[in-house]
Structure formats: C-alpha cells, structure tokens
C-alpha cells in the first residue's frame, strides 16, 4: 500500500499554530508524520516541550511518528543537539545531515531529502550502515528516481518522494531572512515568523521568483505531482510526502490519498486542489527533467 506522509514543518510557526496543525493532521488520511526542527536550531526551544504530547496524540490516531534532525550542523550547541537526537529510542529517526552518522552506529534510521542521495552507491553505502528508508531530493528527474527505486528494492529499503509543497533548493550558513530586515543571524529577533509560508523574493522586474525561510531558499511555486502519482507507484516509490503550508493540509491529504487509492482521477484531483486557492503556481518541471518552476502537461 502506498503511504502518504507529512514532512516536518519547515517554517517558524508559533507553538499554538503547530499544535493546532498536528491536532488536525491526527484526523487526516496520512500514515507517517515527521516532527522536529530541521532548519534553524534557534527555533527549537519554542516547541520542544510539546513533542511528547504531539507524538502521543498522533500515535493514538494510528500515525507513525518519525523525528527529523537539523539539516545544517555548525555550532557546538547543534552538535550536542544531534547527539541527543540520535540517542532517542522510542521513535524512528530521520537524519538530514551526515554529522548524525557518527552517533548512529548499529542503529536503524531514515535518510531525509535534505541529505543528498543522488546515486545508487550512496544509497547502498548508507543502507549497509543502517538506513532503511530514503526520502529523495525533489530535484531528481523521473529516470533517476526510477533507478534509485529499483536499487532500493534490491536493498530491501523504502523510497519516499515529495509530491506537494514548496521545494527546498539550498541552505546557507547565513540567514538571508534576517539580513533582508537589516538584522544579523545572532540577533534576528525571529523575524522569519512573519512569513509563515516563506518570504517572497522578487526579480528586478518585481516578479515573484523564490521564497526564503531563514537560511533556506525554497521555490516560489508549489510542487504538484498529482498527474505523476501512478507513474511513481509503478516505478516502486512507496511513500509520498506532503510539505506543510498554511493551506488546508487535511484537504490536500484527502485529495492525494484519493488518487493513490484509485478513488479519483488526477484530473478531478487537480480541480479540487486548484479550488483551495493556493497562492502560487504549481510546478513539476524537475520530474520531467526541465526547469523546476515549469508545469509540464
């Protein structure tokens, strides 16, 4: 059975907004829910005291809870966070930075999309060292995903692909979000919380081009692979990832679930998704080996 997943929240939402979100997701037709701060370690204290409560709520609702690690580890504080993260025993772990491998000797873990698994040798190397599941980078084209899915089947591991939401394009040591507001990273005053789906970045012609989330650069467009779901299933992808935004993610999950289960056509599902008034164009260019912002077909 194809599994639908909710990625970790990339943005700096308030604790109240996150709690409300996960309470809604408890009733959504999804299988796995990823928790954890993956972008900025400074945001962690705002919600870390709620993880046990949220994990219990989601588990009682029949979801598999997976904890995700930081994607960029630079400071001693962050190294200590990774060490504590890797010591967790009660839930599966998803790593997004290779620094975690030092602490995971002999343990099973998942590999996140922010840790680049681009080829078969990388997949085999990590699988031999405990990796059981790979969320592939969203910029991979269809042929590359097919090759990796075939390799995953041979290795006995599962493969996940993002099918909805803004796409992560880059991470930086510096915080452009803070710099854009005349602040520095160490005294950012958490200005990123003002942009709950990312801060729009414009071209000189005033066209929306990208989206900024702290140290992360995202696409302006929203990835939408509804038309490609059946192909993804056929080539061996087992998990389908929805990246959270402030739109109605329960409705989004219901739309994707219906197509995965064969209860809706992609055309009808696209009509329903368009009716949600998502404030950006859809795109699937990467999947088709074209510029990522394009919508093919």
Where in the sequence is the domain holding 34, given as residue range(s)? 3-165+223-279
Q: How many domains does the chain have?
A: 1
Is 51 inside a domain boundary?
yes
CATH number of the CATH domain containing 95: 3.20.20.70
What local confidence, expressed as pLDDT, does residue 182 receive?
87
Number of H helices, E strands in the chain: 9, 12
Is 249 inside a domain boundary?
yes
Is 206 inside a domain boundary?
no
Q: pLDDT-based confidence at 15, cuts 50/70/90?
A: very high
For residue range 137-182, list pLDDT tens digits in order.
999 999 999 999 999 999 999 999 999 999 999 999 889 998 888 8
Is 205 inside a domain boundary?
no
Packing angle, helices 51-60 and 15-25, rounded to 10? 10
H-helix segments, the chain: 15-25, 51-60, 76-86, 120-127, 142-155, 176-180, 229-234, 249-260, 266-274
Distance CA 184, CA 164 (A): 32
Q: Which residue has the higher pLDDT, 181 or 286?
A: 286
224-242 burial code (b ≥16 CB/10 A, e <16):
bbbbbbeebeebbbbbbbb
Is 156 inside a domain boundary?
yes
Burial of 143 (0-12, 13-18, 19+ CB in 10 A): exposed
Packing angle, helices 15-25 and 249-260, rounded to 10? 30
The whole-model pTM stands at 0.96
Is 160 inside a domain boundary?
yes
For residue range 201-248, list pLDDT tens digits in order.
999 999 999 999 999 999 999 999 999 999 999 999 999 999 999 999
Is 31 inside a domain boundary?
yes
Is 75 inside a domain boundary?
yes
267: number of CA atoms within 13 Å, CB side? Answer: 1
């Amino acid at each position: 059975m194809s599994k639908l997943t909710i990625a970790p929240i990339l943005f700096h939402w308030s604790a109240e907004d996150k709690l409300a979100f996960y309470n809604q997701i408890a009733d959504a037709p999804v299988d796995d829910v990823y928790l954890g701060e993956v972008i900025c370690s400074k945001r962690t204290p705002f919600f870390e005291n709620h993880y046990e409560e949220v994990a219990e709520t989601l588990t009682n609702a029949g979801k598999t809870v997976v904890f995700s690690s930081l994607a960029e580890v630079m400071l001693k504080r962050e190294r200590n966070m990774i060490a504590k993260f890797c010591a967790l025993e009660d839930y599966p772990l998803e790593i997004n930075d290779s620094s975690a491998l030092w602490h995971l000797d002999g343990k099973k873990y998942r590999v996140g999309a922010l840790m680049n698994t681009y080829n078969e040798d990388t997949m085999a190397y990590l699988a031999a060292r405990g990796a059981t599941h790979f969320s592939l980078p969203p910029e991979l084209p269809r042929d590359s995903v097919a090759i990796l899915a075939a390799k995953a089947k041979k290795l006995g591991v599962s493969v996940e692909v993002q099918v909805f939401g803004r796409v992560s394009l880059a991470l930086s040591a510096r915080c452009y979000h803070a710099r854009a507001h005349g602040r520095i990273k160490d005294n950012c005053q958490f200005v990123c919380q003002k942009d709950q789906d990312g801060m729009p970045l414009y071209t000189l012609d005033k066209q929306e081009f990208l989206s900024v989330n702290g140290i992360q650069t995202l696409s302006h467009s929203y990835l939408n692979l509804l038309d490609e779901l059946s192909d993804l299933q056929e080539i061996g992808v087992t998990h389908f990832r929805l990246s959270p935004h402030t739109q109605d993610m329960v409705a989004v999950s219901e739309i994707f679930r219906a197509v995965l289960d064969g209860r809706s056509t992609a055309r009808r599902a696209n009509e329903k998704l368009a009716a949600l008034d998502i404030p950006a164009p859809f795109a699937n260019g990467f999947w088709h080996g074209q510029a990522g912002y394009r919508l093919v077909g």
